[in-house]
Amino acid sequence: MIGPDLLNRINATNLRGDVFGGLTAAVIALPMALAFGIAVGNASGVPEVGAAAGLWGAVIIGLVASLFGGTPTLISEPTGPMTVVFTSVVISFASTAESPQQALVMAFTVGVLAGVFQILFGLFRLGRYVTMMPYTVISGFMSGIGIILVLLQLAPFLGQDSKGGVMGTLSHLPALIQGTQPMEFLLALLTLFILWFTPSSLKKVCPPQLLALIVGTILSVTLFSGADLRTIPEFSAAFPKLIIPDFSGGQIRMMVVNAAVLGMLGCIDALLTSVVADSLTRTEHDSNKELIGQGMANVASGLFGGLPGAGATMGTVVNIQAGGRTALSGVVRALVLMLVVLVAAPLASQIPLAVLAGIALKVGIDIIDWEFLKRAHHLSMKAAVITYGVILLTVLVDLITAVGIGVFVANVLTIDRMSALQSKKVKTISTTDDDVELSSEEQSLLDRAAGKVLLFQLAGPMIFGVAKAIAREHNAIGNCQVVVFDLSEVSHLGVTAAIALENAVKEAMEVGRQVFMVGATGSTLNRLHKLRLLDRLPDKNITSDRLEALTIAVGSLKAD
């Protein structure tokens, strides 16, 4: 499928812009990768994940996705939503595995499987279907993930150890507040202040995330040097080792389900960011190729102990604004970040955890869809119920249940609305008084029939929700001798609607009425042939001309 365009349109036509874009994106990625890696380790109670997993995830995912993806300017790395889901995966295995190391291996195996799912989505050309989800569900899901990320950062934000996921944090909230460590809390607040109030002129020189990281670290080793602040645990600057996937934990079903959720979220995250990139660069990405590239990136990251990731909106926008236009910018970003990891890893142990908690908490706040949440109840009460319901399920139950129930309810409501609209296009016409367009000859024929000929008209897509309308209109048929089923304006005849039409035809014939079938073409005609419905009718009763059918029908009427 990829053919000769194996690589992601990499060229040197915009070398200066791509190098500068990659450098800028690397500066943005460093504090975010550190924050996400530490967030997973703290929230899951498995500190072995740590900063290295976030940093190497940013390097590996960024490099592979840039090389083999389908969006030249997309920057891929661990993101807030992917971090939240992966955290829940680590937590679920940490409680059942024999050791933290086994839990980690199983979690990284889920990351590899998630990448395999993404590759399959791309190979089967499902890219354009991935984001076909109601916005109410996407908004609720993302807002719920943002709230989870905020809740998971409360403990380190207040200078304490995490208390075991969302429910653990909520149940220990009074104790967390009472045990607040003033110096760490002050440092976390200062981080938020820098992230929110850095002047635009300074942002052009130094991203707020990096500025907060530098300022917080300098303060921790100078002004707060005697406060015994918690910092990033030391980690090796060496290249990561290969991790062999492990399916021996007896939880293959859970691993596959978690991988499917993680893979789908990564697809949605990446493709939505690709749309943003398209709008900024006025180009068009290849969705299916992008999914393959994202899948390959997550497989590689999982095999070497990196966090899973997806297209990152912030990094992508910064890359484009700094001049990046080809995938070379993503390659430069990954190589620069790798050099920083290998050279500056020892310095990372000076970075306070409170600063990283502030950065991650700000990401969680930004993920929440404030604009839609403020307007949802004004747009539609049903939309508001779905959105807030998905948020509650995401935060208090689990992500799979939230998305499943949200999509189901939203689709049922949509189908009900569409069915109600389409049902209005199912009409029985016996006189010219009805609100329907007929030629003067057709009107004259119906008047002559005096109600003994009924025109049963269907129009538009006949989805399964219209079946009741077909049955209802047919049951209301009074004393007539002939029924003319007009399908000339039917663009689609679903299976359920076709069965309802078949029942209407059979019941009409059983009580001795003549039946005519008019105007069926294309897929509608093919559906009727497969049902063998037309085999029940004489050839003269099957026509493409409504006037001809009405003429024959009126001519065949029996005198009273």
Question: Taking a C-beta distance cutoff of 8 angstroms, is the pair 491, 523 a contact?
Answer: no
**What whole-number distance in Å separates Cα of residue 111 and Cα of residue 54?**
13
Tell me what the mean pLDDT of segment 49-64 comes to: 94
What residue type is assigned to position 408 of the chain? F
Count of beta carbons in the 10 Å neighbourhood of residue 140: 30
Percent of the chain with pLDDT over 70: 97
**Contact status, residue 82 vs residue 235, Cβ threshold 8 Å:** no
Q: Looking up tokens 């569409």, which residue turns up?
A: 418
How close are the terminal C-alpha atoms of the chain, in Å? 69
* Residue 427 backbone dihedrals phi, psi, to 5 degrees: -130, 145
What does the pLDDT look like over 332-382, one tens digit per residue? 999 999 998 898 888 888 899 999 999 999 999 999 999 999 998 888 899
Q: 196 burial class (0-12, 13-18, 19+ CB within 10 angstroms)?
A: exposed
Structure tokens at 420: 């109600």
pLDDT at 1 exceeding the cut of 50: no
**Distance separating alpha carbons of residues 304 and 180, to the nearest angstrom:** 36
Domains and CATH numbers, the chain: 15-413 (no CATH), 424-555 (3.30.750.24)
Alpha helices by DSSP H, listed for 282-348, are 287-303, 313-321, 328-344
Reported as a pLDDT band with limits 50, 70 and 90, residue 147 is very high
pLDDT in tens, 442-455: 888 988 888 899 99
Radius of gyration of the chain (CA): 31
CA atoms of 117 and 257, how far apart (whole Å) = 11
pLDDT band at residue 3 under the 50/70/90 scheme: very low
Residue 288 has pLDDT above 90, yes or no: yes
Bridge partners, 514 (sequence order): 482
Q: In angstroms, rounded to a whole number, what is the distance separating the alpha carbons of residues 279 and 74?
A: 12
pLDDT band at 434 (very low <50, low <70, confident <90, very high): low
Q: What are phi and psi of 420, to 5 degrees?
A: -65, -40
**Structure confidence at residue 556 as a pLDDT band (50, 70, 90):** confident
Total Cβ atoms within 10 A of residue 250: 8
The identity of residue 97, as a single letter, is A
Residue 249 is predicted with a pLDDT of 66
CA angle 499, 413, 369 (to 5 degrees): 145
Of 47-51, 152-156, 377-381, the least confident:
47-51
Band (pLDDT 50/70/90 cuts) for residue 520 is very high
501: tokens are 């039409």
Inter-axis angle of helices 252-281 and 287-303, nearest 10: 130
Confidence (pLDDT) at 6: 63
DSSP of 82-103 = HHHHHHHHHHHHHTTSSSHHHH
Question: Is residue 507 predicted with pLDDT exceeding 60?
Answer: yes
**4 confidence band (pLDDT: 50, 70, 90):** very low
Kindly state the helix (H) or strand (E) to which residue 491 belongs, with its residue range.
strand 482-493
Beta strands (DSSP E) in 316-468 are 427-429, 453-462
pLDDT digits (tens, 9 = 90+) for 59-104: 999 999 999 999 999 999 999 999 999 998 998 888 787 888 888 9
Q: pLDDT tens digit string along 179-214?
A: 999 999 999 999 999 999 999 888 888 889 999 999
Question: In 3-state terms, what secondary structure has residue 352?
Answer: strand
Break the chain down into helix, strand, coil percent, rounded to 5: 65, 5, 25
* Residue 532 tokens, joined: 């063998």
Q: Which H helix or E strand runs over 77?
A: strand 76-77
526 vs 532: CA distance, rounded Å: 10
Mean pLDDT value across residues 135-149: 90
Average pLDDT over residues 390-401: 87
Confidence bin at 143 (pLDDT 50/70/90): very high
pLDDT mean across residues, the chain: 89
| Whether 229 contacts 184, CB under 8 Å | yes
Per the DSSP assignment, residues forming a β-bridge with 429 are 455
Residue with tokens 């970040």: 337
Contact 482, 454 (CB under 8 A): yes
Residues pairing with 428 in the sheet: 456
List of E strands, 260-394 = 310-311
Q: Say if residue 11's pLDDT is above 80.
A: no
d(CA 330, CA 64) in angstroms, rounded, equals 9
Supply the pLDDT for residue 366. Answer: 93
pTM of the model: 0.81
433 pLDDT tier (thresholds 50, 70, 90): low
Cα dist from 22 to 262, 297, 314, whole Å? 27, 18, 13
Residue 250 has pLDDT above 90, yes or no: no
Q: How far apart are alpha carbons 293 and 61 in whole angstroms?
A: 9
- From CA 262, how far away is CA 270, in angstroms rounded? 12
Evaluate whether 483 touches 512 at the Cβ level (below 8 Å): no
Query: What residue type is 454 in one-letter code?
Result: L
CB 99 within 8 A of CB 117: no
Range from 2-6, 33-37, 426-430, 479-483 that averages highest in pLDDT = 33-37
**Confidence band of 435 (pLDDT split at 50, 70, 90):** low
Quick one: average pLDDT of 279-295?
Answer: 92
Q: How far apart are CA 420 and CA 551, in angstroms?
A: 33
